[in-house]
Amino acid sequence: MSAFLAYGRQTIEDDDIAAVAEALRSDFLTTGPRVEAFEDAFAEAVGARYAVACSNGTAALHLAMMALDVRPGEMVIVPSITFLATANCARYVGAEVIFADVDPSTGLMTPQTLQAALEQVGDRRLRAVLPVHLRGDVAELDRLAALTTQAGAVLVEDAPHALGSVAVFDNQKERIGDCRHSAMSTFSFHPVKPSPPVKAA
Ligand SMILES: Cc1ncc(COP(=O)(O)O)c(C=O)c1O
């Protein structure tokens, strides 16, 4: 007998299947009114002013770097524990990556580890800091944002693990994606990202 750990357990219901079938029978297989409806619904769900749909979380990170006009030779700070797309997006636009250490108990970039990474930047041009939220746990956005702004850079949240997370900063609730402390947040619909935690079978 062998046991398998499930990689993820998605919930697909009949109305999901019907919605896909309806799209397949419609005039638009890409673009079209469903994309706009999805963007509006997503922005409302996370409390953002705007949402832009793209093919996956990696493309979202790449577009974030392009939207900020990050250029070759400029610096981007990312945490040392993350999916490789967080660092790759900087490389896609020719920027250099500096890895910030993470808290060993949470895996998250912290104000202290960001401060140490900022010291490594020296007199090079830092353009962006990308904290990553992990398993629904949210990085200390208020303090990371303050340090980032002080360094003349822009905070972008890499948030695929935190769709639906809510944090409290200054006694105020912050929905991840509302971008109160960042210029942009990126998400992913890879099936293990928004799914609930896997329970043992
Ligand atoms: C933290 C993080 N950022 C970015 C991505 C990239 O998302 P996608 O797989 O949709 O390209 C992932 C997904 O694996 C991720 O875990």
Positions in the chain short of pLDDT 50 = 200-201
The CA distance from 10 to 66, in Å, is: 32
Whose tokens are 């500096």? That residue is 98
pLDDT, residue 3, reads 74
Rounded CA-CA distance 67/174 in Å is: 24
pLDDT at 45: 96
CA of 85 to the centre of ligand 1 (A): 6
**Cα distances (angstroms) measured from residue 23 to each of 29, 118, 194:** 7, 47, 22
Ligand 1 center to 187 CA (angstroms): 7
Atom 15 of ligand 1: nearest residue by CA position: 83
Q: Which two structure tokens, joined as six digits, stand for 119? A: 């010291």
Tracing tokens 């660092």 back to the chain, one arrives at: 87
Task: Enumerate the active-site residues.
Answer: 193
Measuring CA to CA, which residue among 76, 65, 79 is closest to residue 108? 79
Ligand 1-lining residues (CB < 6 angstroms):
56-58, 82-83, 85-86, 132, 158, 160-161, 188, 190
Q: What is the pLDDT of residue 201?
A: 43
Q: What pLDDT sits at residue 9?
A: 80
Closest CA to 156 of 35, 63, 93: 63
CA of 160 to the centre of ligand 1 (A): 6
Q: How remote is the CA of residue 1 from the centroid of ligand 1, in Å?
A: 33
At residue 77, the 3 state secondary structure works out as strand
pLDDT at residue number 4: 80
pLDDT value of residue 195: 63
Helix and strand numbers, DSSP H then E, in the chain: 6, 7
Tokens matching residue 50: 């705007």
pLDDT of residue 43: 98
What are the structural domains of the chain? 55-186 (3.40.640.10)
Q: Distance of CA 165 to CAs 52, 137, 168, Å?
A: 19, 7, 10
> Residue 197 has what pLDDT?
53
Give the CA angle between residues 68, 72, 76 to the nearest 5°: 60
